[in-house]
Structure 1
Amino acid sequence: MRTVYKALTFTYIVYAVGILAYIYTQDPSRVPVYDIGGVSDPTTFMSRAQIHEANAVSRLQYVSFFIFEPLQWIIYFVVLTSGVSGRMKYMTQQMTHVKAFQRILYVIGLLALLFIVHLPINGFYFVIDHLYHLSSQTASSWLGDLLKSFGLDLITQVPLFLGVFWLIKKQPNRWWISIWVLSIPITIFLMFIQPLVVDPIFNTFQPLPDQQLKAEIISLTTKAHIPTDQIYVVNKSKQTNELNAYVTGIGSQTRVVYWDTLLHSMTKGEIVFVTAHEIGHYVLHHIYIGIVVGLLIGYGVLWVFYRLYLWIVQRFKESLHIDGPHDFVALPLLLLLYSVLSFAILPVENAISRTMEHQADQYAMMLTHDKKDAIQSFQMFAKHDLQAVNPPFLVYIFLDDHPTLLQRIDFVAHWKS
């Protein structure tokens, strides 16, 4: 196994050097010749210092993503192959003879171990956000949010993993289909429960105090036939300085939510355009389309997951000390396969998301016919959130679930009503 670890380490280092070379030889602020000096060219709406800062933070974010994702796979692999997973199982057997409790203790222990191992990575992002003024959150608040997330993970993932291994044992040839079927109501339920139950755990939601702006937003929602007058602002400034807004819920529970950072940074016209974009997602049923497409992709991914998992367990169960597919010692293998496959399908998911985001931009233009504020809102995202207007191709397909700011600004600039 030492030879495997050495080869893995060497491969990872070569990969990391390649990623660094690729990212740092690209200029994410570069625009095509025909856009130079135009409204999508950062030199026309950002200072040289802002462009330098946006390039620096963007490159760090790109490199972090491409380096930390495979690092996560290595962590799962090491936990699985080094005997850590087996020793954790042995410890739970010494603590109780009740198999159900053994499984619960094992899952809690593994999640706690992964939380600790990932803490330095989360800390890196915390430092970067503060270094470039993308966050003003205190260390204690940041750690508190991490612990809340860990608590939610325990509440949701312990029964989830116990259920998965139970299905693997009871339905050795069909468990992946059962998981997919069960994921349908769970996905739909979480879509409605998260904004009402989970999000308020981390932030405070209050009715929008600006009555004039509220009246304009309600005018937009009325024009779009959205049955709501619930307009909220959430105190995201406690965690981040970045900008965002969204429409969530269904029927009488529909609500428009603004991050307070957006309200403090954008003009009324820019806020109206951003709202029209989010309304577009609602009117065009993107939430439901996303669920259906996600479930269809999930079906295929689970089939591949099932085949790979069974093959690996059958081929390597002796060296990995796994009793069979239903042995919960194989949980790191489940997490490894899930992470790798999730990464592999990102280009497909992002391409679909970018299509819907473009459709929402089209809807916003049809609703507002306001080129000036639309362009300025995109320029504000670039300046305030330090977003690169034209990221490298690999970043675009693996990281960007929106069209580039270059594409979005050019689209609006050439819009013909």
Structure 2
Amino acid sequence: MNAFDPLAATAQYLHMIDPVREARAIAYTQGSHWLLLWGWLLSVAIDLVILRSGLLVRLRDRIQRNKPRPNLAAFACVTVFILSAAVLRLPWSIYADWARERSYGLSSQDMAGWLTQNVTTTIFTSILGGLVAIAIYALMRRTGPRWWIWSSAVCAVLAFLALAVAPLLFLGVFNDTRPAPAGPVRRAIEGVAQEAGMPASKIVVFNGSKQSNNYTASVVGGPGFATIVLSDTMLTGEVDQSEIRAVVAHEIGHYKHNHLLILAAVVAVLAGAGLWLVDRMLGAVPRSRDRQSPLVQDPAAIPLAHLVFITFTLLTTP
């Protein structure tokens, strides 16, 4: 029997795709690459606007007018920064994350639904960012020049929680979930899971069609609490079991090969490198005469730190 040739099979499949659909897919992908650059330029401009406004400096000084309150100052400055940046970025987000997806037929979500989800996510992100800031700025004060090493460990834990645990905890915030119903789709998924040696008792469906028309699945969690998550787009209309098996097998492969742990480790390394760069870059900026601590320890300078970090992230994005 001839060995399976994935390159030949892929080429054969691509020849079956309608040229119009292929051109549309290429345009979407290449446009997404350009969005990385334009989004970075916009973020740089927003960081500079917030920095020049003096908003965070006034906020920091007001909080610490009578006595030092470093934790409250860190929380407030970072939370207000994230909220302010989100407001300034909103027109771009509407285009890049909502209108563009609808124009390519990848989403049917209305503006009201998208805005509600965006506002909820922004509020949650700002509060979480403020809490993380308390930890990182405390590490700056207590560990000195090596704060970025300890902070990268914090980032590793957060990355794993975000990849493996958060999807299970917060999926129900925006979507309704239910156990996958009995039927051919569930049997096909259970068959793939059994072949891979993975327990298939936890298979849930969420109403992902509310946000996206994409045909998606994922495996989240870890040993003992792994869950196969399906969008309801995989259960509506004409069901292609071979495609379902391919999508789910791909995601189970990530789980079986511990890609979540590897990704968390990579994020920790990159975060450490980015934080080290922030420390070096902000350390080179002249300090104000009335400030005794390094600029990097000033939460009002978070726009500068963010500017350095997002530039590093852009350059290290595959």
TM-score (norm 1): 0.66
* Structure 1 unaligned regions, length at least 5: 1-33, 348-417
2:12 aligned counterpart, secondary structure: coil
**Map of 2:3 onto structure 1:** none
Alignment partner, residue 4 of structure 2:
none
Question: Which residue does 2:152 correspond to in 1?
Answer: 180
Equivalence for 1:298: 271
| 1:215 has 2:187 as partner | yes
Unpaired segments of 5 or more residues in structure 2? 1-6
Alpha-carbon deviation of 1:131? 2.2
Task: For residue 319 of structure 1, report the CA deviation from its aligned partner.
Answer: 9.8
Query: How do 1:335-350 and structure 2 match up within 5 A?
Result: 335-347=306-318
Q: How well do the aligned residues superpose, as a CA RMSD in angstroms? A: 2.9
- Corresponding residue number in structure 1 for 2:92: 121
Cα drift, residue 204 of structure 1: 1.6
Aligned amino acid, residue 87 of structure 2: I
* 2:259 is the alignment partner of 1:289: no
**Aligned partners of 1:132 and 1:258: how far apart in 2?**
22
Match of 2:201 in 1: 229
Match of 2:287 in 1: 317
| Pairing of 1:41-120 with structure 2 (within 5 A) | 41=14, 44-46=16-18, 48=20, 50-90=21-61, 92=63, 99=69, 100-120=71-91
Q: Percent identity?
A: 23
- CA distance in 1: counterparts of 2:176 and 2:48, whole angstroms: 39
1:198 pairs with 151, 165, 170, which one?
Answer: 170
Cα offsets for 1:211-250 (capped at 9, x unmatched): 2321232222122111231112111110111221111222
| Structure 2 counterpart SS, 1:129 | helix
Q: Distance in 2 between matches of 1:170 and 1:324?
A: 13
SS at match of 2:287: helix
Q: 1:320 to 1:58 in 2, by over 3 A?
A: farther
Q: TM-score, normalised by structure 2?
A: 0.84
Q: 1:127 offset after TM fit, Å?
A: 1.3
User: Offset of 1:297 from its aligned partner?
Assistant: 3.5
Work out which of the residue numbers 225, 234, 246 in structure 1 matches 2:218: 246
Matched, 1:168 2:140: yes
CA deviations 1:30-83 (Å, max 9, x no partner) are xxxx99xx52546x32153x3454344444433322211122122213322453
Sort the Cα spacing of 1:59 and 1:220 in 2 relative to 1 into closer, same or farther, 3 A: closer
Deviations 1:181-202 (A, max 9, x none): 3333333334432122122212
Equivalent-residue separation in structure 2 for 1:115 and 1:92 (angstroms): 23
Tell me by how many angstroms 1:323 deviates.
6.1
How many equivalent residue pairs?
Answer: 307
Aligned to 1:277: 250
Give the alignment partner of residue 307 of structure 1, picking from 280, 283, 287: 280
CA contact (8 A) 1:204 1:235 kept: yes
Match of 1:329 in 2: 300
Could you tell me how far apart the structure 1 residues matched to 2:218 and 2:94 are?
27
